[in-house]
Every structure is written in C-alpha cells, then in structure tokens.
Amino acid sequence: MRFSLNVDHIATLRNTRGEDQPDPVTAALIAEEAGVDGIVVHLREDRRHITERDVRLLRELVKTKLDLEMAATEEIIKIACDVGPELSTLVPEKRQELTTEGGLNVIDNISLIKDTIKELHDSDIEVSLFIEPEINQIDAAAEINSDFIEIHTGVFANAVSEEEQFDELERIRTAVKHAKKLGMGVNAGHGLDYQNIKIFREVPDIDEVSIGHAIIARAVVVGIKEAVQEMMRLIRN
C-alpha cells in the first residue's frame, strides 16, 4: 500500500501569520526524502491553506506524484489543466466546513463530473473521485471513466465502538472489491492516524492511503525538542 502525505495543514499554520513560514513546499520535499510516495494538496476556492503559488512550485519540485484535491469548478479545473498534476481527486467543497465532510454524490452530479473527468483526461491528468464506500456511487464512477476512487474513511475513523468500526471496515472491503472488479484503482483517506492504520492496513487491495492531519500534528510535537535545542544553542553561544 502506497502512502501520500497531505501538507495542507502546514499551509494553515503559515497563513495564520500571513508570512511565509512554515512552507508546505519545503515540508513536501523533506517528506519525499523520507520516503513518501506522493504529495497531496487541496486548492480550495477560498484559498484558506494551499495557494496557487504552492501548487505551481510543488509541480516543479515534486518528483514522486502530485495529487491535487479540488472541487469541480471552472476556475480550479482551469488551474489543474494548466499545472498538470499526475492525479486530480475531485471532492465536494463547502465554504463553511472545517475539512472535507463526506464523499461526492457522483450520481446526482453525474454530468458535471463526467465533463470534468473528460477535461482533465484531455490534459493527461488521471482522476480520482472521493466517495463513500457505496456500490451505486462506485458504479457511477466507473460509468464515467474515473481512473480511481478514493474511499472516504471518516466513518471508520470516527467509529465509537469496535462493532461500528468492524461494520464500516466490512463496507469498505466490499467497496474495494467492487471497484477493483470494475477496473478502477482504489485510494483511501480521511481521519487515518497512528492507531487506526494498524487495523486499516489489513484491508486488501488498497492502492494508496492519503494522510494529513495526524502526521502534521505529530510532526509538530515530535519536532519540539530539536527546535528548542537549536534555539538554545543560538541564544547561549
């Protein structure tokens, strides 16, 4: 199972000061050196974290794979076609949400999503649709030529009992099998962390997981000691 790192939250921290640190592009390059298989960023309509500058620089510098998460809007599709990530993951986007809250409704938006896939394919960009592990959504994704689906793992990650977690994992297993039978690649993400990944990794045939918040949160904490010691050396020398 491959693993891509989402660096949106580095940009969130940067933007709180309106300055240029920490830089999600620098973080992405260090993550590549550390061995990740890809970098994920979500260019939102409101640019609350990742900016166009980030996406364009990442396109120049990322050597593994760039996955641009995006809503199917005219402005963002144009940027995607111009920048040329290896993969565009289409997600639903609401201005008020703290993070992506659930999968796309492919069935209800089929002609918009179909046209968007065609436009991205014409620019040699593969497409993934972020959806719930539901058979009818997977069928719709295959019908309109999606290369991948990304299964929303938020319900699994937020399960409050072992039983609920087990049931959702079963739903995910069935969904993965179905998508594979239809010839699509299968990614997964949202809310995966250092605990639940131990169970999630047992799901067969997932091509890639996309993880952001848990890793950036951990990086801040495990990096404190080194950052403090570095400053102490500067102050005391």
Q: Quick one: which of 99, 136, 158, 229 contacts ligand PXP (CB under 6 A)? A: 99
69 included as an active-site residue: yes
9 included as an active-site residue: no
Rounded to a whole number of angstroms, the minimum distance from the CB of residue 182 to ligand PXP is 20
Distance CA 187, CA 220 (A): 26
Q: Which residues make Cβ contacts (< 8 Å) with residue 184, sequence separation at least 6?
A: 138, 141, 142, 146, 147, 148, 149
Helices (H), the chain: 8-17, 24-34, 52-61, 74-83, 110-122, 135-143, 154-157, 162-181, 197-200, 213-222, 224-236
Here the tokens at position 103 are 């999968």
Q: Is 210 in the site for ligand PXP (CB under 6 A)?
A: yes
Q: Is 88 in the site for ligand PXP (CB under 6 A)?
A: no
Q: Name the segment binding ligand PXP (CB under 6 A); options: 13-21, 114-122, 189-197, 224-232.
A: 189-197
Size of the site for ligand PXP (CB under 6 A): 19
Name the residue among 122, 126, 123 with its Cα closest to residue 89. Answer: 126
Nearer to ligand PXP, 104 or 142 (CB): 104
Q: Is 208 in the site for ligand PXP (CB under 6 A)?
A: no
Q: How many residues does this entry show for the chain?
A: 237
Q: Is 212 in the site for ligand PXP (CB under 6 A)?
A: yes
Q: Quick one: which of 28, 151, 190, 206 contacts ligand PXP (CB under 6 A)? A: 190
178 included as an active-site residue: no
- Tell me the C-alpha to C-alpha distance, in Å, between residue 14 and each of 11, 23, 64, 159, 188: 5, 7, 24, 31, 27
Q: Is 213 in the site for ligand PXP (CB under 6 A)?
A: yes
Q: Name the segment binding ligand PXP (CB under 6 A); options: 17-25, 46-54, 158-166, 183-191.
A: 183-191
Q: Is 211 in the site for ligand PXP (CB under 6 A)?
A: yes
Q: Quick one: which of 91, 113, 125, 175 contacts ligand PXP (CB under 6 A)? A: 91
Q: Is 100 in the site for ligand PXP (CB under 6 A)?
A: yes
Here the tokens at position 14 are 């940067």
| 35 phi and psi angles, rounded to 5 deg | 115, 5
Residues that bind ligand PXP (CB under 6 A): 6, 8, 42, 69, 89, 91, 99-100, 130, 150, 189-192, 210-214
Q: Which residues are catalytic?
A: 42, 69, 190
